[in-house]
Amino acid sequence: MKTNDFIQLEDTYLAHNYHPLDVVISRGKGVWVWDSEGKKYLDCLGGYSALSHGHVHKKILAAAVSQMKRLTLTGRAFRNDQLGLLSKEICQAFGYDMFLPMNSGAEAVETALKVARKWGYEKKKVENGKAEIVAVSNNFHGRTITIISFSTEKQYQEGFTPLTAGFRIVPFDNIDALKKAITKNTVAILLEPIQAEGGIIVPKNGYLTKVAQLCRDNNVLFLADEIQTGLGRTGKLFAYEYDENAKPDILILGKALGGGFYPVSGILTKKSVMEVIRWGDHGSTFGGNPLAAAIARASLKVLIEEKLVENSQKMGQYFMEKLKTIHSPWIKDIRGKGLLIGVELTENSGGARKFCELLAKEGVLCKETHDFVIRFAPALLITKKEIDWAMSKIKKVLERSDI
Ligand SMILES: *Cc1c(COP(=O)(O)O)cnc(C)c1O
């Protein structure tokens, strides 16, 4: 089958909920992928940051295959010999008491919201039905009805009402607005330490410290969605580490936790919070299955053993420096941390989509986020040589004046 045949199939039989570039990928290794006709590309999207370990990492593959041959699913009606180990390893590695596994990122966010509400009623003694959660504008936390209920993106809500109640929205990176939004019924503040889908928006230094302090002062839980920014993506293990004393009460993980193989997500928190969840309060058929647990264990191991966090820091800096040497009439701003980088284009550039299409032709895959930002989030094991290769193409496309 040819490229166009695959595209035809998707356009006919697949819901049109995405607007993909017309590249049909059939194989991947490390930062590289090959299309169905054998053309090679450097993947700079990295599965929206889910491919931090690169494509088909050998050690994670070995762990996955070995587990697949042994046991894949038990349901939480029984215990399995992987989930307890993952829970211990992830709690000890990241400094939390307890773990609650899910599958997709959105489910993990929902889990955090449920835990926060229940904590509010049981521990903070908020009057029944009154719990409030504060979120910030320009957020992205997933696509369930509850999560889109506090999105500020019109398209995410239109046609999907009625929405879930109990949320307040304040501007991101504005501590005064946050202060004003807190009432005696506030149980949690939810935010991304760096807004990724929102266009790689990095808050001012110290913002997260203030958020965490505000939460402590008001007996409110600080929920950090590090689904995209976590596990080394931003050059630290977690993006909240860029600020002092900003450790969240509930840490929400997903994406790269599955090593690029499998959806694995979950939340981490302390015992006094997690204990509000009791038998039957919450669950998931696939959440915490032995295959997921084995894969997540291998992904964490690789992250540490191969020093992916350090590499993200170093290569992110290198990537950023190189981008800054490009003389393009279209670049308005370059920002980000580690290997989560956004290049914002000027309004007269015509938008980022066209540039992504041209880059794909040159062999570099990336995707626009919002209309004017190109996001670069390659695998954390990318090398200087690979960045140099990508940069020659990026430069060529961005320096064109005839767009
Ligand atoms: C991707 C993402 C999610 C949603 O994860 P899914 O696995 O797509 O449900 C939530 N929050 C953030 C910050 C994300 O980047």
Q: Which of 225, 249, 261, 393 is catalytic?
A: 225
- For ligand 1, atom 15, name the residue with the nearest CA: 228
Report yes or no on 273 lying in a domain: yes
Q: Are residues 229 and 197 both part of a single domain?
A: yes
In this structure, the answer to whether residues 315 and 350 fall within a common structural domain is yes
The residue range of the domain holding 71 is: 58-305
Of all residues in the chain, the percent with pLDDT exceeding 70 is 100
Q: How many domains does the chain have?
A: 2
> Which of 236, 214, 298, 207 minimizes the C-alpha distance to 94?
236
Of 118, 210, 255, 393, which is the active-site residue? 255
* Cut 0.95: pTM above it: yes
For residue 217, the model assigns a pLDDT of 98
CATH of the domain at 323: 3.90.1150.10
Per-residue pLDDT tens for 350-397?
Answer: 999 999 999 999 999 999 998 999 999 999 999 999 999 999 999 999
Which atom in ligand 1 lies closest to the alpha carbon of residue 228?
15
Identify whether 299 is part of a domain: yes
User: Is residue 403 one of the residues assigned to a domain?
Assistant: no
With respect to residue 369, please indicate whether it lies within any of the assigned structural domains: yes
Q: Residue 293's closest CA among 254, 264, 260?
A: 264
53 and 69 co-located in one domain? no
Q: Which atom of ligand 1 is nearest to the CA of 195?
A: 13
Looking at the fold, whether 205 and 147 belong to one and the same domain comes out as yes
- Mutation test of ligand 1: which of 51, 223, 228 has the most ligand atoms closer than 8 Å to its C-beta? 228
Domain end point (choices 253, 280, 305):
305
Are 133 and 231 members of one domain? Answer: yes
pLDDT for 355: 97
Q: Could you tell me if 300 and 256 are in contact, meaning their C-beta atoms sit under 8 angstroms apart?
A: no
Query: What pLDDT is recorded for position 401?
Result: 85
Which atom number of ligand 1 is nearest to the Cα of residue 197? 15
Q: Tell which of 245, 271, 305 closes a domain.
A: 305
Q: Are 111 and 267 in contact (CB under 8 A)?
A: yes
Same structural domain, 195 and 100: yes
Residues 167 and 282 in one domain: yes
Q: How far is the CA of 171 from the centre of ligand 1 (A)?
A: 20
Q: What is the pLDDT of residues 302-323, one digit of tens each?
A: 999 999 999 999 999 999 999 9
Q: How many angstroms does the Cα of residue 103 sit away from the middle of ligand 1?
A: 11
Catalytic residue flag (residue 160)? no
Instruction: Name which residue sits closest to atom 6 of ligand 1, judged by CA.
Output: 105
Q: Which residues, given as ranges, of the chain have pLDDT below 50?
A: none
- Please say if 35 is a catalytic residue: no
Peptide bond into 193 cis (omega under 30): no
How far from 251 is each of 113, 122, 140, 340, 354, CA to CA, in Å?
12, 20, 15, 19, 36
Rg (Cα) of the chain, in Å, rounded? Answer: 21
Ligand 1: residues with CB < 6 A are 48, 104-106, 109, 140-142, 192, 196-197, 225, 227-228, 254-255
Residue with the two structure tokens 């209920």: 149
**Shared domain check, 317 and 235:** no
pLDDT at 220: 98
CA 335 to ligand 1 centroid distance, Å: 21
Residue 290 in any domain: the answer is: yes
Q: Which of 262, 289, 305 is the last residue of a domain?
A: 305
In terms of domains, do 267 and 392 share one? Answer: no
Taking the centre of ligand 1 as the mean of its atom positions, its distance from the CA of residue 141, in whole angstroms, is: 5
- Protein residue with its CA nearest to atom 8 in ligand 1: 105
Q: Are residues 165 and 24 in the same domain?
A: no
In a domain, 383, yes or no: yes
3-state secondary structure of 43: strand
Asked whether residue 116 is assigned to any structural domain, the reply reads yes
Helix (H) or strand (E) holding 60: helix 58-70
* Active-site residue flag, 255: yes
329 C-alpha to ligand 1 centroid (Å): 33
Its sign, for the CA torsion 99, 100, 104, 110, is negative
CATH number at residue 227: 3.40.640.10
Position 239 in a domain: yes
Q: Are residues 212 and 93 located together in one domain of the fold?
A: yes
Roughly how many angstroms between the first and final C-alpha of the chain, as a whole number?
32
Residues 271 and 286 grouped into a single domain: yes
**105 Cα–ligand 1 center, Å:** 5
So what's the pLDDT on residue 107?
98
